[in-house]
Amino acid sequence: MTWSNMPSGERVAPTPTYRVRAVAVGNRFDVAAATEENFVAELARVVGLAAPYLVSDRPNLLVLGELLGLPGALVGRRGGLARRATTARGALTLLALAYLPRVLHYRRRWPGVSLARALLLARTDALYRSFAAALARQAALHATHVVATTLAPRVRRSLDPADIARFGRPGAGEVYLPTGPEVYNAALVFGPDGTQLGRVDKVFLTADERRLLDLTPGRLEDVPVIATAAGRLGVAISLDAFTPAYLRHLAAHGAEIVVQPDANDQLWTAPSQTCDWQPQEWLNAVLGSVQPAYPGLRYNVCAMQTGLFFDRVFDGQSSITAAADAPPDPAPNFVGNDGFYDTRTGELFLGRMLAVAPWVANDPGIAHPRLELAERRAQLAAVGSQLLPGRKRAGAFRESVIWANLDL
């Protein structure tokens, strides 16, 4: 049992604690799906990876990657050339040419919209309809809450045959159309009966999201905390989970679990733009979000998508962390890390690492405890460099499933 305090300091009746099973799946990108059926089957496969770890005696929470819906833009006969491209920019260019009439329609409808934005608007139905419908079915099939992310504008459903013929899939009974020119990195939250419980748009965008995709940032004041049987969920897509203002917003609105769909768009065992070792910096989000500065944020569940999106590398380790009043045990930790601290301030973190996904190679410091940090990182960096396109182990990123029980 736990006691709560009212603002006045008066105690209110105790409420029983309960347990949630949290599962994070870090799947590899697959851009080969030629049909909508292939894409839906891939989504079912990804959810199916979690199935052995879901339970029937408590609520389940399944967190999936940040760009899970993006390959849906490439399905269909007209996406064939784009699927065979060697670079992400080339794939987007070929896709825009394949759907040029729709792209031009949206540039006329909303003057000033970029070609990249118009392409995403033109592929609204492909990015949203099959993705949302498939995950709703999977949530109901496995009796689990599901959080997953795609690129999408705000949408409306149309049953008009003219709209379906012009913007939808041939033979479909409905089509989803954009209601405005904005396109977001959007997380959809589904309940265990398949009902869509909410949507959260990413607020703090990366450079590629702004330059390559021309996405629209969400508004922090519009970010909801979603109350579910699996806890009060505060969705923080990737960079949002690193941002103190965003975390303060979640804490102020009563979130308990930080749900972090992610897809780190560079090599994992390498420097980032702001730190000499990216896994060390990643603790700023997965442990940083459950520090005492954010009261009420008790857990972070981070699902890291991996693989190659054409020439774009995505790599990392999924994790589940918990708030605590003591520092974490030395293990587990991300590969190549040296303790648990905020790389921006040097402040030591409190908390627990409940689960960490393995990387493609073990940290050499496990087998050789006396190995210097620089040598550990050099060996890991050498492995990581072989995962790049054209290298010996190109695309051999690890797919992972982790789980933990969360007490609320």
CB atoms within 10 A of CB 278: 24
Instruction: Report the pLDDT value the prediction gives residue 15, as an integer from 0 to 100.
Output: 55
- Banded model confidence at residue 318, pLDDT cuts 50, 70, 90: very high
Please provide the average confidence, as pLDDT, over all residues in the chain. 94
- Please say whether the beta carbons of 209 and 185 come within 8 A: yes
Nearest-angstrom CA–CA distance, 220 and 111: 26
Least confident range of 1-5, 15-19, 144-148, 232-236: 1-5
Instruction: Report the pLDDT value the prediction gives residue 273, as an integer from 0 to 100.
Output: 87
On the question of a cis peptide bond just before residue 332, with omega within 30 degrees of 0, the verdict is yes
Residue 248 lies in a domain: yes
Nearest-angstrom CA–CA distance, 67 and 98: 22
Q: Which of 396, 206, 249, 237 is nearest to 301 (CA)?
A: 237
- Banded model confidence at residue 376, pLDDT cuts 50, 70, 90: very high
Q: Which of 2, 37, 35 is nearest to 16 (CA)?
A: 2
Residue 400 lies in a domain: no
Residue 129 lies in a domain: yes
**Number of domains within the chain:** 1
Mean pLDDT in residue range 24-31: 94
Statement: residue 1 has pLDDT above 80: no
15-26 b/e (C-beta count within 10 Å ≥ 16 → b): eeeeebbbbbbb
Q: Which two tokens stand for residue 335?
A: 């590969």
- Please say whether the beta carbons of 333 and 356 come within 8 A: yes
Beta strands in 154-284 (DSSP E): 155-158, 175-178, 184-190, 196-201, 226-228, 231-235, 257-262
Residue 10 lies in a domain: no
Mean pLDDT in residue range 31-37: 89
Residue 171 lies in a domain: yes
Instruction: Report the pLDDT value the prediction gives residue 16, as an integer from 0 to 100.
Output: 53
Q: Are strands 257-262 and 299-304 parallel, antiparallel or unpaired?
A: parallel
Q: Is 30 helix (H, G, I), strand (E, B) or coil?
A: coil
Statement: residue 10 has pLDDT above 70: no
Residue 191 lies in a domain: yes
- Banded model confidence at residue 42, pLDDT cuts 50, 70, 90: very high
Residue 9 lies in a domain: no
Mean pLDDT in residue range 277-300: 98
| Domain residue limits at 83 | 22-393
Q: Are strands 145-152 and 60-63 parallel, antiparallel or unpaired?
A: parallel
Q: Which two tokens stand for residue 222?
A: 């519009």
Residue 313 lies in a domain: yes
Instruction: Report the pLDDT value the prediction gives residue 7, as an integer from 0 to 100.
Output: 38
**Residue 198: strand pairing partners:** 189
Please, which residues have CB within 8 angstroms of residue 156's CB and are 6 or more apart in sequence?
176, 177, 179
Q: Report the CATH number that the domain containing residue 60 is assigned in CATH.
A: 3.60.110.10
Q: Which two tokens stand for residue 284?
A: 């700023």
Q: Which two tokens stand for residue 305?
A: 């998508």
Residue type, 203: V
Count CA atoms within 13 Å of residue 242 on its CB side.
Answer: 17
Positive/negative CA dihedral, 164, 170, 174, 177? negative
Instruction: Report the pLDDT value the prediction gives residue 34, as an integer from 0 to 100.
Output: 84
Statement: residue 33 has pLDDT above 90: no
pTM of the model: 0.94
Nearest-angstrom CA–CA distance, 91 and 28: 18
Residue type, 389: P
- Please say whether the beta carbons of 147 and 259 come within 8 A: yes
Instruction: Report the pLDDT value the prediction gives residue 32, as an integer from 0 to 100.
Output: 87
